[in-house]
Amino acid sequence: MGRTLRSKLEVSGIYLVVLIMFAIILYPLLWAVSISLNPGTSLYSAKLIPDNLSLEHYRWLFTNPQSDYGLWYKNTIIVAVCNAVASVTMVSLLAYVFSRFRFTGRKYGIYTFLLLQMFPVLMGMVAIYLLLNLVNLLDTFTGLILIYAVGGLPMNVFLVKGYLDTIPRDLDESATMDGAGHLTVFFRILMPLTAPILAVVGLFTFMAPFMDFLTPRIILRSPEKYTLALGLYNFINDKFSNNFTIFAAGTILIAVPIATVFLLLQRFLISGLADGATKG
């Protein structure tokens, strides 16, 4: 009887914690959606449940001549797609090298990747600015994509390498005995098996340009090259008291491409969770 009561209390406690976390996450999201649907432009008069729902702010973003939201959206998607492709390509190759090959400096290279994660990005911003200016990549998408892709390498390589280490080397050896080269082993054997962790890397690197403000703020100068985070900030910074409801509508639409990519990669993500549970 006592054990049953204790079990019920533990389950109730778990549900209570989950509900509290859910409320903490959902509450600001509900307010953002609500503000975007409130008519008018005032933030302080907005209600959680608007009296008259309005989509005027969403229409304004794409139809008003004063809005460059569509351009910012296109720029961000270009940067996000290129960043995801470049990151997955470099991360998978580097992780394969560190996981399957033995060479001088391998151990210290892994330690270096871990050490780089200890320093905040802000420490390198001045150096990044000077370096991009030196090679004429300042105020370019190429420079921004390069910083995103290279900046995320250490942690992503370490994650994918750890995943590759769980795959038996017998597969590599069997393929090698059958005449397969290193690239064949990598692309035809290991890549399909590492699809779940590469999907995670691809999703996170795709999300980064949508969420990041600091990096494009330092690198980009031309208004026509702004990403969403930078564009929306400048938009409300110029007219803070008048455009917060439109700003909320712009932030809500950021979730659309991220949710689309998540749905496309969902089967890989779920299979990765299932594999992790099986290995555990």
Q: In the Cβ-directed half-sphere of 216, how many Cα atoms lie within 13 Å?
A: 26
pLDDT tens, position by position, 190-234: 888 888 899 999 999 999 999 999 899 989 989 899 999 998 887
- In this predicted model, what pLDDT tens digit does every residue of 59-79 receive, in sequence order? 888 888 888 899 999 999 999
Closest CA relative to residue 204, chosen from 154, 152, 256: 152
- Structural tokens at position 72: 């910012």
Confidence of residue 177 (pLDDT cuts 50, 70, 90): confident
Helical ranges in the chain per DSSP H? 2-37, 56-63, 69-100, 106-116, 125-134, 141-151, 153-165, 170-177, 182-184, 191-193, 195-211, 214-219, 228-238, 244-253, 255-264, 266-279
